Structure formats: C-alpha cells, structure tokens
Amino acid sequence: MHNQDLHTKDQQFYLPTFKRIPITFIKGKGSNLWDIENKKYIDLLAGIAVNNVGHCHPKVVKAIQEQAADLMHISNFFVSPPQVALAELLVNLSGLDRVFFTNSGAESVEGAIKIARRYAHSIGRGGKIISMHNSFHGRTLATIATGQPKYQEGFGPMPQGFVQVPFNDLEALKNEISKDLAAVIIEPIQGEGGIRPADVSYLKSVKELCEKEDVVLIFDEIQSGIARTGKWFAKDIYEIQPDIMTLAKGLGGGTPIGAFLCNEKIAKAIQFGDHGTTFGGNPLATSAALATLKVIVEENLLQSAHDKGLWLKAKLEELKLTNPVIKEVRGEGLMLGVELAIPATELVQNLLKAGIIANATAINVLRLVPPLNIPMEDLEQFIEILSVEIKKFQIPKS
Ligand SMILES: *Cc1c(COP(=O)(O)O)cnc(C)c1O
C-alpha cells in the first residue's frame, strides 16, 4: 500500500487523538529511520526518548527472538529468569530496594501513587499528592489529575486529592504541607514541560522537607532515566535518592515495559494483593529490557550520552549567538531542549523535510532526545541542517 492510502485509512479507522504527520515508517536501524518511499531520516526523537540504544539494536532483537521462541508470558503467579535478573539489575543500578514491572509510564506513575498513599495511610497521613505546574505523568485519570489542566478538560470528574504547585518554588510547596499530604511527585528534569531541569538547591530542599515530614518523595524518571542524561537516572546528577522512582520509555529498547522502584520503608506498607498486573514484567518484555540495559553497559552509553550531549549543547549554544530566535538551550546529556522565541512547529516541519526527526514540546521548545549511540556524523549533519533552517526564522516584531 502507498503512503497516501495508508494515511487515508489511518484517518478513517484510528481514534483521532493524534494529529498524524503523513509519513509512514517501515524500517529503523540505529539512529536512522526509513519511510515507505525509502527516504532516510536521522531520528533525534527516538520514539520520544524510547530508543535509547537505537532502532532494532541487534542484541535486543536477538533477545526478543530467542525469548519469544522459549516463553513469552506466564502471569505473575510464577517466577521467570529474565524478570528476576532485571529486578536485581534495576535494584542495583538505582540503590532502591524493590521493583514492580508495568506496561507503560502512566501505569508506573499510577502504581507509585498507590503505594505512596498506602504508606502514608499506614503512618496516619492523608492521601494528597502534590505535583508540579507543567509536569507530565501520563494520560490515565490519576495521572492527568497530576498534570496540566489542558489534559483534564472534558474528562471530569477528576480523581480527588491532587494539588499542583509551581515548579522550582519551595515556598509554594511548603504552604501545601499538612497531615493530609502523602507524597510529592517531581520530574527532576521536566520533559513534556519543555526540558526544564529542577534547580539543585530546590530539589535538595524538597528532599530534606519530605524526609523531615515523612512525606513520600516520588521521582518520575520515565523520560530522564535509562542513561538519557549521561547518568543511569537524573537523580544521580542531583545526588538525591527518592523514596519511589518511576521508569518506562527507554527501559525496553522499544518494547512496552515500565517499572516503579521503592525503598524498603515504602515496600513494608505493601501486602499481598495490594497491587497487580497481568502483563507487567512478562518474560518477553523483561528479556528485551535486560538486553537493552546490557547494551548500555557494554557500549558505554552513559559516557556517550554525556560526551555527545556536551558537544551538541555547545553547538546549539554557538548557534544561539548568531540566531536571536534561540532563547535558551537546556538539559543534561542527550535530553536537550532549545527554547525559541516563536512556536517550534514550523521549524520541526522544515527539519522533517530535510530528513531530521525532532519534535516541538511545550509549544516553543525543540526537543532533542536521540539514541544515545547516535554517530557523531549524524549529529554533525543535524547541526549543519539546523544552522540553515534556523536562519529562516526571526523574532517577530511586536
Ligand atoms: C512519557 C511520560 C509519561 C507517560 O508514559 P506513557 O508510557 O506514555 O504512559 C510519564 N511521565 C513522564 C515524565 C513521561 O515523560
């Protein structure tokens, strides 16, 4: 079928929740994608920070193929070798004590909220959850209740017990602390909100405050985790240990899997039957995740994300000097945002025509979250193209 026919059928049958770009992809390798007309692209979006080891990494492909031939699914009533191995590895990498596997980011956040409330109730606190303005934690009911009002419109009534405060504002958070409060959920680096890192002193104060008040601190590392920032998790840049951490996106190398981890204090509040999942952490998904994490170690992708991130950031800063339309360059490792003085949509469209996949988030931020093993030649080519495309935009005269 041709691209146009596929697009037409897609428009006919798929729920119209995504404003699709009419491009059909059929193949990926490393940091490259090919569309159905065999046009090659450099992928700086990586399926929204998912393909951290690149598209179709041979070791991940092999792990999935072998596991699919052996055993795909058994239910969580039984033990499976890849799930045990992945649980142990994630506990060791994170310094937390326990893990639960899910199928997506939102589901990880849902689980995190549940166990945080469970713990809070066990020590006589209420169930209120504080989240940050401009945060993003998913699209289920509870996760939209934590998020931006635009995602809640028309979906009421909202689940109860969610309050938002401004990001990087300690006083605002302090004002919401009461016996009612169960947990604070924060992305150490806001992703959908426009690649906005938390201030170091702010996040350290939040940690101290939560510890003092025995309020559960949840870090949502669904976008910032899995070596994206040059560390295994963004929390390692801040050197702050949360009580609970959520993961998904990059964890499975393209396979849908998420997780939340917690410390023993929280885990003690959980009893048999308190939470569950049918698919979560099945042998197929966990073997893909295990292979993904092994590739990150073997190919030294923490270093790669760090070094390439520094290079890319420096190049973007350089472009900023001669292009006033670039307001700010933010982020860590290969989780970078270029804030423009104008909406980023047109630039994104022009880049796409030139064979570069990136996206606009928070309206005027160009988000760059490429595979961590993207070759330097691809990054160089991107900078070359961006420097041509960005010149076409000027700051609108007001
Ligand atoms: C993407 C994302 C989610 C939601 O993940 P889904 O897999 O789409 O449910 C939650 N939190 C953050 C920080 C994210 O970036």
**Overall size of the chain counted in residues:** 398
Mean pLDDT (the chain) is 97
- Annotated binding-site residues for N(2)-acetyl-L-ornithine read 139, 277
398 pLDDT above the threshold of 90: no
Kindly state the average pLDDT of the residues 255-278.
97
Q: Which of 249, 260, 369 to mutate to test the pocket of ligand 1 (most atoms within 8 A of CB)?
A: 249
Please give the torsion angle defined by the CA atoms of residues 121, 124, 128 and 131, in that order, rounded to the nearest 10 degrees.
-90
**Residue-level pLDDT at 397:** 77
Query: Residue 396 pLDDT > 90, yes or no?
Result: no
Across-strand partners of 42? 32, 356
Would you state the pLDDT for residue 140?
97
Q: What is the pLDDT of residue 395?
A: 85
289-312 pLDDT tens trace: 999 999 999 999 999 999 999 999
**Please, what are the domains in the chain?**
3-57+300-392 (3.90.1150.10), 58-298 (3.40.640.10)
Is 220 labeled as catalytic in the residue annotation?
A: yes
Taking the C-alpha atoms of residue 138 and residue 249, their distance in angstroms, rounded to an integer, is: 12
C-alpha 215/C-alpha 223 separation (Å) is: 24
Nearest C-alpha neighbor of 216 from the set 116, 339, 105: 116
pLDDT of residue 316: 98
- Average confidence (pLDDT) over 274-287: 98
pTM across the whole model: 0.98
Report whether 55 contacts 357 (CB < 8 A): no
- The residue whose CB lies within 8 Å of the most ligand 1 atoms, and thus the one to mutate among 110, 137, 186, is 137
Tell me the per-residue pLDDT of 110-125, one tens digit each, with 9 for 90 and over: 999 999 999 999 999 9
- Distance from Cα 251 to the centre of ligand 1, integer Å: 12
13 given a catalytic annotation: no
Share of the chain above pLDDT 70, in %: 100
* Atom 5 of ligand 1: nearest residue by CA position: 105
3-state secondary structure of 357: strand
| Torsion sign (Cα): 128, 129, 130, 133 | negative
User: For residues 71 and 247, is the Cβ–Cβ distance under 8 A?
Assistant: no
Residue 397 exposed, middle or buried by CB count within 10 Å (0-12, 13-18, 19+): exposed
CA of 145 to the centre of ligand 1 (A): 14
Evaluate: CB of 105 within 6 angstroms of ligand 1: yes
pLDDT at 147: 85
Based on its alpha-carbon atoms, the radius of gyration of the chain, rounded to whole angstroms, reads: 21
- State the pLDDT at residue 268: 98
Ligand 1 site, residue 187, Cβ cutoff 6 A = yes
Question: For residue 341, what pLDDT band results from cuts at 50, 70 and 90?
Answer: very high
Q: Measured from the CB, is residue 138 less than 6 Å from ligand 1? A: yes
DSSP label at residue 21: -
What is the Å distance from ligand 1's center to 258 Cα?
10
pLDDT grade, residue 188 (50/70/90)?
Answer: very high
Cα separation, 136 vs 147, whole angstroms:
5
Determine which helix (DSSP H) or strand (DSSP E) holds 337, and give its type and residue range. strand 335-340
Please work out whether the CB of residue 194 comes within 6 Å of at least one atom of ligand 1. no
Q: What is the pLDDT of residues 346-378, one digit of tens each?
A: 999 999 999 999 999 999 999 999 999 999 999
The finding on whether 111 has its CB within 6 A of some atom of ligand 1 is no
- Where are the alpha helices (H) located in 276-326, listed in sequence order? 283-298, 301-322
- Is the Cβ atom of 221 under 6 angstroms away from ligand 1? no
Asked whether 104 lines ligand 1 (CB < 6 A), one says yes
Atom of ligand 1 nearest to the CA of 139: 9
CB atoms within 10 A of CB 272: 6
pLDDT tens, position by position, 31-55: 999 999 999 999 999 999 999 999 9
pLDDT digits (tens, 9 = 90+) for 53-97: 999 999 999 999 999 999 999 999 999 999 999 999 999 999 999
Q: How far is the CA of 135 from the centre of ligand 1 (A)?
A: 10
First to last CA, the chain: 47
DSSP string over 86-115:
HHHHHHHHH--SEEEEESSHHHHHHHHHHH
The catalytic position among 100, 101, 136, 219 is 136
